Amino acid sequence: MTGRRADDETTRRRADETTRLCASRFGEASEQELEEALRREFLRACEEAPLPSAGLVWWRASIRARAEAARKAEQPLTVAPAIAGAAMLGAGAGIAGFIWRVIPAAAWSDPLVLGMFAAAVGLVLAPLALVLALSRE
């Protein structure tokens, strides 16, 4: 813990030094001088930045690899409901077109034929509605 406190004190001391430099020279310092002072401070901070341990780097890389693998594995599952929905819609349109041609025009006035047609359309559209409703998480 003492190492961390020393680092915090060093950081505070440097920040105070930079603040004093900027405050004392703000009126007389040019923009270029301020930029150079800040750049020097940045480079010094970059040189002293602690590197993470190899175990931490390995752990983060493995977590990232697992997340990417999971995303890649889920892609077909994302597309499957759309393909299933399109197939059911196409099948329903094909069946409706076939029934429309097979049943004569006079039979469409019969309530029984209209009821059977509505039931067939409902049987085709119900799974489509379920796929669309359950595909959104």
Domain count, the chain: 1
**Domain membership flag for residue 83:** yes
Report the distance separating Cα 11 and Cα 6, nearest Å. Answer: 9
pLDDT of amino acid 95? 81
Which of residues 92 and 136 earns the better pLDDT score? 92
Alpha helices, DSSP H, located in 26-106: 31-47, 54-102
**Domain membership flag for residue 105:** yes
pLDDT of amino acid 85? 77
Structural domain span for residue 123:
75-137
Which of residues 126 and 77 earns the better pLDDT score? 126
Cα dihedral 96, 101, 103, 107 in deg (nearest 10): 100
Q: What is the pLDDT of residues 43-63, one digit of tens each?
A: 888 888 888 899 999 999 999
**Domain membership flag for residue 28:** no
